[in-house]
Structure 1
């Protein structure tokens, strides 16, 4: 008996005339209103906005940290199953005889630039170095921070944050959208991915809500990326020009510097977005990849390449061996009652004094002991150490929610943008090719960046050459400080200038791709959208980033808190995408078998 034909009658109403011609009015208006309200809130009441966002983020992580972490594990395992099963892996995103639109080089460079370009520039040195100082192995006391033994944990979690799990988030979105768009000829928009579950309800309010969540998540994800990127731009510009107005204090970008850098990036991004994917984004992405290879060569020649090469192999094996345990590692908050139950009797009366310090993920045993005073300081050494050990679950939760979950929220918020962008450039590829090309290949390149650039920074600190200079640098300044420890003179200026250009092109690529994707969602999947709307959304995106930077006092806290909050509802959409895609593939395979059966013939 044949299956019922899949639901493909997706009718997204578009305006026939006026300013919103070609756009779905509810999606466009609600998205703009939501973004405008966020801008006004952050602009008129910056302190209130920052404090409220911080409180919301804290409460959300207490309740949903485990949900975030296990959801990402599910995405990775889901894609592994699809790639391994022969029937699903050989399905083609398009007609059976269709071939890819872009060459592998252009496909990879666009994917690389949009997916993690700015993140690599900011975190290639900062991430491994930061995790060398603090990771679950150091937090639990298994190894000493900033030691030779701590390198294993540093790269285990660096690879977790930038590897298969992370890219799986993008690919779940991209594969879902591409599958329906190119095998069922449906619109390339977020709601399409849930049509196997929603059916005709996709044409109503439910569909509008899903697309709006995609737009809002995209704005917040792109905003955080650009926020970090412009901060690094200012750091690099200061190193080259020594202009005092760019900095506010020691290696902290000034608000004025950030706003000027932001305005420059967004003007260039909007101009590139107007030119479209085939020209602006494609050419910038190719330039990004070439300049990235040049920067990589600088670190290979002048950095600690032997250290990086050894670390890469060992860390990759360690990551693969620990893939399943890392996937299922999720912690909940620790209560004072739980902490008290693990204390020795002599320390039990001092729970209130001991609990905050013992569960502080960013402290150390030495700082915990040094911070004790009065009666707690007079406790026996065994009781003090036992109290610190009792706080391990709380410290692990604090570390994970502040580090790993922050990354998962960032990747999830970025996934509507990168996923839809991946879908647009991946027509004609098989499911297996899409998964391997967009999960495995970028991960291996990210690992190389993290070990070559980050390994050089760690080696300079480990052998004492940097003397703490890199460790004391801000996140966005770490790359430039590492370069200053490796090279000097005119060459340092030239390479630093190249890094500024590379960061700029990565930012422009991310922002213009985000603008194109937001317009695609609001137009119901139409790829060629109105120029004025691209310009308008470029302006709105600039206002979101600028006002949240001001609300954060020139820092990135308000931006990151907004993103973590906004990513939660879209993580539910991603889980539903997995269910919907699994259902669609199973039913399509059953239909194909029925059509080829003797009874059918």
Structure 2
């Protein structure tokens, strides 16, 4: 029986003239309206907006934590299977004999810069140090925080958050888009990836909704990345110049944090440069900045190799990678559910059950130790004997594990998912002519191994400085965005420190500009129905919209990154469902294309 030809008659109506010439009016107007409404809400009612976003985020994480964890594990498993199967792995993303557009160096540079460049600058030191003090093994009480025994589990989860799973999310979207765009000559836009499931129905309202979800997720994912990066950019400028208005020394924080004025000034600088780069297009601005990013990254890595704890880092790399692979299945599918107060009460010793309401919050606090739990109790609860309190703390173990996972791993999965329309479409845009296997290995395995090196060389040096007592708690006590600069201060002094700090600020700036301008180009590609050469004026408009979204959410709730993170997690959830459908759709397309090829040879 013959297999019907695939549906390829995708029709995305675009305007023939006027300001929106070449653009889908429903996608552009609805996307902009949603973003403008978010900006006005956050500016007019900043405290209320921050509280509501936090409340909605907490509710969604309670209900969808397991969904996030398991579906990301499924993405990784699916891609590995597709790469291994000969018939799918060797499929070329393009016409027969078609070459690649970019060299391997430029391809990897753009992939690396767009995917995790900013994240690595902020979290190469902050992530291992943070997880050294708190991870599921520490939360369970098996090892003490910030101890030598906690290093292995710290890197297990560091590798999980920045390794195969993170890049599998990007590649799940990117491969779905590239497969249809380059093997079926369809538009490079989000709805294209669902045509095997929904056929002609994506030509209407359903398709508009899918593309709008992609645009919103992209804006919020890029916004969080820029938010973290701007904060680190200001930390770096302050370390070099000492300009007081950049930092806020008030409040309860033990160290100064970037001020609102400093954040907004840094944001305007970065976004102005991003818009200029986006106007120049992928082949010029993005490509050249990405190449510069990679060169400066290698220099920074070399400094840590020469002056940091390289032997410690390399031994950690090998042992941590083996541990990561051994635990890959549990990291992929080991999801936790919330622990209700009733379930907690039933697990308590009889003497403690009447005091369950006083014990519940402390026992299920993912960031609290047993000693902290005991010291925080008052009244009758504080009078319970040590054995009963230890049993009560153990009864809250599931709640602590859920709180940790939803507050850390699920946050990352939502961040990468929100980032995936942007990075995925960008990966597809630069990968024409490569095989499916090359695309998966090149975009999942290779960048993950580089990320692991960054995390162990930079983060390992910071841990070693703290473990040996040389840093005396200075790195742990610094804010996440300042940890890199504090680590450098503990390693070297004098003119070399100044030169390296300046280079790091430049590197942060170029990573931020690359991420922002790539995001602007991707948003325009989606709204123009897959046109990769969208109009310059709309790149400028979306650059301004993105700037306003980041600025308003930085100010919401009193300032800071919490509102940005909450909005991003909320916006990522609908697109997570879209990605699940993408996986099913791609599996169907590849299966049926393979049957068609067999029919053609028989």
Residues 1:554 and 2:556 aligned together: no
Equivalent in the alignment of 1:391: 396
**Structure 2 partner of 1:161:** 161
Q: CA deviation at 1:552?
A: 3.6
Please state whether the residue corresponding to 1:422 is helix, strand or coil. Answer: helix
Equivalent in the alignment of 2:317: 312
Task: Give the distance between the partners of 1:23 and 1:435, measured in 2 at CA.
Answer: 31
1:336 aligns with 2:336: no
- Equivalent residue number for residue 107 of structure 2: 107
Shift of 1:380: 1.4
1:16-35 alignment to 2 at 5 Å?
A: 16-35=16-35
Matched with 1:11 is: 11
- Which position in structure 2 is the counterpart of 1:502? 507
2:125–2:462 Cα contact (<8 Å) kept: yes
Q: Is the 8 A contact 1:217 1:414 kept in 2?
A: yes
Which of 593, 597, 602 in structure 2 is aligned with 1:592?
A: 597
For residues 2-41 of structure 1, the C-alpha deviation after alignment (integer angstroms, 9 at most, x for no partner) is 1111000001001000000000000000000010000000
Residue matched to 2:198: 198
Tell me whether 1:451 sits opposite 2:418 in the alignment: no
1:420 to 406, 425, 439: 425
Contact 2:48 2:557 in 1 (8 A): no
State the shift of 1:369 in Å.
Answer: 1.2
Q: Does 1:400 align with 2:405?
A: yes
Q: In the superposition, relative to structure 1, how do residues 554 and 154 fare at CA in structure 2: closer, same or farther (>3 Å)?
A: same
SS of corresponding position for 2:477: coil
| Partner residue, 2:264 | 259
Aligned to 1:49: 49
2:564 pairs with 1:577: no
Indicate if the aligned counterparts of 1:193 and 1:577 stay in contact, CA closer than 8 A: yes
Following superposition of structure 1 onto structure 2, how do residues 144-543 of structure 1 map, counting pairs within 5 Å? 144-249=144-249, 250-543=255-548
For 2:388 and 2:272, the matched residues in 1 are separated by 60
Cα drift, residue 268 of structure 1: 0.1
**CA-to-aligned-CA distance 1:363-422 (integer Å, 9 cap, x gap):** 111111111222112111100111111111000000000000000000000000000000
SS at match of 1:149: helix
Return 5+ residue gaps in structure 1 as ranges.
none
Shift of 1:320: 0.6
Candidates 559, 562, 568, aligned match of 1:563: 568
1:251–1:477 CA contact under 8 A, matched in 2:
no
Distance 2:538 2:36 in 1: 15
> What is the distance in 1 between the residues matched to 2:558 and 2:128?
27
For 2:142 and 2:98, the matched residues in 1 are separated by: 53
CA-CA distance at 1:492 after TM superposition = 1.0
Structure 2: unaligned runs, 5 residues or longer: 250-254
Structure 2 distance, partners of 1:404, 1:99, is 38
SS, match of residue 588 in structure 1: helix
* Correspondence 1:141 to 2:169: no
Shift, 1:99, TM fit: 2.0
Determine if contact 1:128/1:450 at 8 Å carries over to the other structure: yes
- Asked if the contact 1:92/1:429 (under 8 Å) is kept, the reply is yes
Residues 255 and 554 of structure 1 are in contact (CA less than 8 Å); yes or no, is this contact kept in structure 2?
A: yes
Residues 107, 425 of structure 1: 8 Å contact kept: yes
Asked if structure 2 preserves the Cα contact closer than 8 Å seen for 1:421 and 1:517, the reply is yes
In structure 2, distance between residues paired with 1:552 and 1:429: 46
Shift in Å at residue 100 of structure 1?
1.3
1:167-208: CA deviation from partner (whole Å, max 9, x where unpaired): 000000000000000000000000000000110001000000
Q: Compute the displacement of 1:130 (Å).
A: 0.1
How far does the alpha carbon of each residue in 1:147-179 deviate from its partner, in whole angstroms, 9 at most, with x for none? 111001100000000000110000000000000
CA separation in 2, counterparts of 1:580 and 1:310? 42
* Cα offsets for 1:59-88 (capped at 9, x unmatched): 000000000000100000000110111111
Runs of 4+ in 1 over 2 A off after TM superposition: none
Report if aligned partners of 2:51, 2:557 keep a CA contact under 8 Å in 1: no
> Quick one: distance in 1 between partners of 2:84 and 2:126?
35
How far apart are the structure 2 equivalents of 1:539 and 1:392? 46
Distance, in Å, in 1 between the alignment partners of 2:238 and 2:310 is 28
Counterpart contact for 1:43–1:550, Cα < 8 Å: yes
State the partner residue of 1:74. 74
Aligned-partner Cα distance in 1 for 2:562–2:385 = 40
RMSD over equivalenced CA pairs, Å: 0.6
Q: Is the 8 A contact 1:253 1:554 kept in 2?
A: no
Question: Deviation string for 1:332-383 (max 9, x for gaps)?
Answer: 1110111111111111111000000000001111111111222112111100
Separation (CA, whole Å) in 2 of partners of 1:122 and 1:12: 39
Quote the Cα distance in structure 1 between the aligned partners of 2:349 and 2:559: 45
Could you tell me how far apart the structure 2 residues matched to 1:382 and 1:364 are? Answer: 15
> Is structure 2 residue 89 aligned with structure 1 residue 89?
yes
Secondary structure in structure 2 of the residue aligned to 1:345? coil
TM-score normalised by structure 1 residue count: 0.99
